[in-house]
Amino acid sequence: MRIALIGQQQFGKAVLEAFRARGDTVAGVFCAPDKPGAAVDPLKSACQLLGIPLYQLPSLRTPEARRCLQDLGVDLGVMAYVLQFAPETFTSIPAHGTIQYHPSLLPRHRGPSSVNWPVILGESETGLTIFRPNDGLDEGPVVLQKRTRIGPEETSGQVYFGRLFPMGVEALLEASLMIVRDGAVAAAQDPSFASYEGWCRTEEARINWHHHADRVFDLIRGCDPAPGAWTLFRGRRLQLFDAKKIPVRAFADIAGGVGTVSRADDNGLVIAGHGANIEIKRVRYEAGPKQSVGEFCRQHGIVVGSAIGDASPTP
């Protein structure tokens, strides 16, 4: 089939490669404009290498965007990690319309950080949806869904890169055949099950040590690798990665109040919490690089009883 790809970054590149490997024609690619100082988008680089027409338009709402897509004469539009708004006046142009990938089980977790929030909320399952985009936010009818388990210690990065990413590429290939070859009809989402979360960014990633350790642990792994859950250490931001929850067996396991160090060595930095301790393997202090906790503790003189977390209540 002949497709137009709308996407960016490594996921967009992987989808481009998968459709070409199947023998389909990628007639053109719509990629987000370059950001000053940012690395070249991998999808853009792939298009330039392969000689595929590339459109980096500031908006997909314009007559110019519609004209570019119309001129490609494609069977199907494929949206693979798209942050620009694509209106129905644009997505309806291909002969068989457009399909879009979303890394959650819609209508649950609509919004831009749908990989992070199921982990942050302690859920045991997530998945992906291929749907028909409309002018609502992730509200279009569903073509297919795939489910996957969230392990009790998995990070959002492990769930996404380990499963949702490769599953998503294959699901777009499958859905394209369902639409173009088989004429599949998408099913409307049930709004009674809908939920929406906004971006998971720095503000949302701040740890409140007065929450239960389960909630703290889920926040850390749900923000790993990005945006990185953080706490204040000596007035500066300390991000925590590679966490493990350690049950508290006795009062002796707690060296001090929440947010204080129970153990500090090359094997891990253990911080006291409510109901359990949290072990950390890697940190990032302010704008520095990620580093092992052993190195960090030696640099800053951290010992048992040191205050790591700012345990003052947050709003």
pLDDT value, residue 257: 83
pLDDT value, residue 38: 92
Average pLDDT value over all residues in the chain: 94
Domain with CATH 3.10.25.10 in the chain: 213-300
Query: 211 and 228 in contact (C-beta within 8 Å)?
Result: no
Can you list the residues of the chain whose pLDDT is less than 50? 312-315
C-alpha 290/C-alpha 288 separation (Å) is 7
* Dihedral angle over CA of 67, 69, 74, 77, nearest 10: -150
What would the two tokens of residue 116 be?
């992070």
CATH number assigned to the domain with residue range 2-193, chosen from the 4 options 3.30.70.360, 3.40.50.170, 3.30.420.40, 3.40.190.170 = 3.40.50.170
For 102-144, write each residue's pLDDT tens digit. Answer: 999 999 999 999 999 999 999 999 999 999 999 999 999 999 9
C-alpha 103/C-alpha 96 separation (Å) is 23
What would the two tokens of residue 145 be?
């869904």
Q: pTM (2 decimals)?
A: 0.93
pLDDT value, residue 249: 72
Class of domain 213-300: alpha beta
Radius of gyration of the chain from Cα atoms? 23
pLDDT value, residue 315: 38
